[in-house]
Amino acid sequence: MNEQDLINIINLIEYPDVSKTLRELGVIDVFKIEANKMIIIFALPDLNMPNRKDIANSIRIMAESFGYKFEYDFREMNDKEKRIFQKLIEI
């Protein structure tokens, strides 16, 4: 498998308890692969969400299985992103 295979797999990872992907919901804000490192910034509607570590770990497991070091951070969604997120999880 190659880098594109990894990207394709990550694009299929679903948000916990919702049948939408992290990508669809706008949770994956920044996604970069540099040498042997994957860097992701997650955008969340609330930075205190109890499942935020689970979200990061779902991608960390995939990244490490491909031999990448995984670095991540979180940021809070702005109001527009929160409205879109909320609308999408209600559908």
pLDDT of residue 68: 94
Distance CA 1, CA 41 (A): 24
Contact 88, 23 (CB under 8 A): no
Residues near 7 by Cβ (< 8 Å), separated by ≥ 6?
A: 31, 33
Q: Please give the full DSSP string across 23-70, using - where no structure is assigned.
A: TTTT-EEEEEEETTEEEEEEEES-TT-TTHHHHHHHHHHHHHHTT-EE
- Sorted by where each starts, the structural domains of the chain and their CATH numbers stand as 3-90 (3.30.300.130)
Distance CA 20, CA 68 (A): 25
Q: Is the pTM of this model over 0.85?
A: yes
pLDDT of residue 1: 63
| pLDDT tens column, 6-60 | 889 999 999 988 999 999 999 999 999 998 999 999 999 999 999 999 999 999 9
